[in-house]
Amino acid sequence: MGNYGCSDGLLTFVLQNLLSISCFSVVCGHLCNLVKMDCCFMFRKTSQAIEGDAGEHRVKIFSYNELRKATHDFSGANKIGEGGFGSVFRGILRDGTPVAVKVLSATSRQGVREFLTELTAISDIKHENLVTLVGCCAEGSHRILVYNYLENNSISQTLLGTRCSGIQFDWKTRVKIAVGVARGITFLHEEIRPPIIHRDIKASNILLAKDLTPKISDFGLARLLPPNATHVSTRVAGTLGYLAPEYAIRGQVTKKSDIYSFGVLLLEIVSGRCNTNTRLPYEDQFLLERTWVCYEQERLDEIIDADLGDDLDVDEACRFLKIGLLCTQDALARRPNMSSVVKMLIGEKSLSAHKITRPAMITDFADLKVSSGGQTRVQETRSSTTRSYSTTEEEPFSSSEAPTQTSI
Ligand SMILES: Nc1ncnc2c1ncn2[C@@H]1O[C@H](COP(=O)(O)OP(=O)(O)OP(=O)(O)O)[C@@H](O)[C@H]1O
Ligand SMILES: *[C@@H]1O[C@H](CO)[C@@H](O)[C@H](O)[C@H]1NC(C)=O
Ligand SMILES: *[C@@H]1O[C@H](CO)[C@@H](O)[C@H](O)[C@H]1NC(C)=O
Ligand SMILES: *[C@@H]1O[C@H](CO)[C@@H](O)[C@H](O)[C@H]1NC(C)=O
Ligand SMILES: [Mg+2]
């Protein structure tokens, strides 16, 4: 996918956004401006850090050879996953430390210095609920990240997966995961300067430590690749459900788009199911939609995972579901900020001040044909595993509709 003009059809825009889940590839429109702004901002801070004597060595630099040894030559047996950024391998460093080695696939045009600059910034960010970056390798064209290894995998493979992980996700554990993730995002949004918008909050980016403390991974990665390198997710359909419509359609990246994704994740944690399941009857396929319907009919408890046993607190679970609905509201102003979300989750703040209206749903893409004054028709074509959207030219959002809410 090369450059394209802003006058291209919505289809390109939507698809481009969907395919470039973390958005490095969006070359035009609002997002581009945001991304650029983001980068400049970041660079200013980090270049200072690098100029300082201490700053230069804060990221541990590994040689390619060392990482090759650690992962048995990046062997298939050591491969633990593959995402939009590349492959992840389990490795053991010389001193015995287990690590996750992420080999970035896009042949980065970013120079070594720029790469290290961005990495220094990320490696400075430490929090109980964030995965720790151990170091990196930038030898030749290799761009590799080394993270702390987290033994109990991501919640997409355990809680939402086949459930043969053997981990018991009782209610207490789910509360700990939900609150931990919320605290991690609060840290990224509100406690560091400049703030970081994650852009890819989803179950596969929530890893679990030995004691099941949740750790958010892949924060700050959007800055590591050149703005036009495509991050094509292998699981577009799965990722789609986490994207706030304004982000998917207009590329509008704000803290509120992260909060939307968190809302969807929260519903998944309580219900124990993925946000989208095309094997279910059509009206049940989308968790968010189903939750809203149940909320309206005052049957919210039906959404709660039936596998939850003795320690389930139904009132608390319903409160979590309501918070999920609040986070996914259509109007950005209706979505609470992350520190408020944490307070609501732990019961320090009541939800009563907030009116819950119908959340914004990606399935509403189909409604665009109404809202865009007939200029654009978005048709929904369903297949068994994924959805695709087609459109007849004309882009409905003029560039004057710049996002009013930016994160910086
Ligand atoms: N630090 C880590 N410790 C243990 N396992 C990890 C670690 N980082 C990643 N993994 C595993 O590797 C898998 C792939 O991760 P990766 O981030 O490449 O893909 P993803 O999260 O599915 O998609 P995306 O590229 O959008 O983040 C994860 O789902 C997880 O199981
Ligand atoms: C990305 O941009 C660079 C320079 O701006 C260009 O040389 C390169 O071909 C672009 N890559 C893609 C995939 O569009
Ligand atoms: C985490 O994983 C380890 C090793 O796979 C396993 O022994 C342990 O029981 C898991 N932790 C929990 C709390 O289930
Ligand atoms: C979050 O929202 C609450 C309630 O609207 C507000 O009081 C608080 O200042 C906000 N915090 C931040 C960091 O924006
Ligand atoms: Mg990931």
Residues of the chain with pLDDT under 70: 1-57, 106-110, 163, 223-238, 363-408
Q: What is the pLDDT of residue 225?
A: 57
Return the pLDDT at 339.
98
Among all ligands shown, which has an atom nearest to the Cα of 86? 1
Q: Quick check: pTM over 0.85?
A: no
Query: 167 in ligand 3 pocket by Cβ < 6 Å?
Result: yes
From the list 38, 200, 218, 258, the catalytic residue is 200
pLDDT of residue 82: 87
Residues 352-367: b if buried by 16+ CB within 10 A, e if exposed: eebebeebbbbbbbee
pLDDT tens string 253-282: 899 999 999 999 999 999 999 998 888 888
Q: Is the CB of 232 under 6 A from ligand 2?
A: no
Q: Where exactly are the structural domains of the chain?
A: 61-148, 171-380
Homologous superfamily of the 61-148 domain (CATH):
Phosphorylase Kinase; domain 1 (3.30.200.20)
When computed from its CA atoms, the radius of gyration of the chain, rounded to whole angstroms, is: 21
User: For a pocket test of ligand 2, which of 16, 19, 109 has the largest count of ligand atoms closer than 8 A to its C-beta?
Assistant: 109
Determine the pLDDT at residue 364: 64
Q: Are 61-148 and 171-380 equal in CATH topology?
A: no
Please report the pLDDT score of residue 37 as a whole number. Answer: 33
Specify the pLDDT at position 106: 66
- Mutation probe of ligand 4 site: the residue of 185, 339, 349 with most atoms within 8 A of C-beta: 339
Is residue 315 packed enough to be buried (19+ CB in 10 Å), middle (13-18) or exposed (0-12)?
Answer: exposed
Known binding residue 176? Answer is: no
Look up the CATH architecture of domain 171-380. Orthogonal Bundle (1.10)
Which ligand approaches the C-alpha of residue 186 most closely? Answer: 4
313 given a catalytic annotation: no
Identify the pLDDT of residue 224.
Answer: 67
Q: Is 222 in the pocket of ligand 3 (CB under 6 A)?
A: no
CA distances to 179, 232, 387, 397 from 251, rounded to whole Å, are: 28, 15, 19, 11
